[in-house]
Amino acid sequence: MEMCCEVDGAAGRAGCPSCGQQGRPVSRATVGALARLEVEASLLATKHYRFCETPTCSVVYFAPEGVRLERDDVCVAVHQKDNGPGVPLCYCFGYTRARLVGEGEGAIAFVGGEVKARRCACDVKNPSGRCCLGDLRRFLRAMEVDQSEEAP
């Protein structure tokens, strides 16, 4: 009998199979909504998934049962792992980095209003399964720092 799942003896606490980070819990609804059709159903039958945020790691979702979904298995670009200008930071309303650069704080006001009115669907649109507002704020803050460095 093989004991392949007891390599580290800490069932359920193992990190990302590629980079070893713990990752954040993410719901099965999120994984199921964002997995490509080609992904086998058996990989989507697990209860507890985690989301790996390590930028250099190709794994997006993993589960202790040995489940591993990589960037190509997910139908949207994951901004934590892809820093292109056309990659969305807000998946519900399509705010890419390029669009955020153009709209600045106005984007936060708009998305904040929609979130308050519960017209967002972060749990099935955002690969992290979480609200994007924190990501948007971080991005705009980083942008301000860049600009003030360029123009003292």
Distances (CA, A) of 147 to 56, 76, 140, 143, 144: 26, 29, 11, 6, 5
Structure tokens given for 57: 């790691």
Q: Select from 18, 27, 46, 96 the one that contacts Zn ion (CB under 5 A).
A: 18
Contact 128, 26 (CB under 8 A): yes
On whether the CB atoms of residues 122 and 130 are closer than 8 A, the answer is yes
- Our finding on whether 52 is near Zn ion (CB under 5 A) is yes
Which one, 49 or 95, has the nearer CB to Zn ion?
A: 49
Per CB under 5 A, which region of 48-56, 78-86, 110-118, 140-148 contacts Zn ion? 48-56
Report how far residue 86's alpha carbon sits from residue 113's, in angstroms, rounded to the nearest whole number: 23
Residue 116 CB, nearest approach to Zn ion (Å): 33
Does 57 bind Zn ion (CB under 5 A)? Our answer is yes
Q: Which residue among 28, 44, 46, 54 contacts Zn ion (CB under 5 A)?
A: 54
**What 8-state DSSP symbol labels residue 90?**
E
Looking at beta carbons only, is 71 or 99 nearer to Zn ion? 71
Enumerate binding residues for Zn ion (CB under 5 A): 16, 18-19, 52, 54, 57, 59
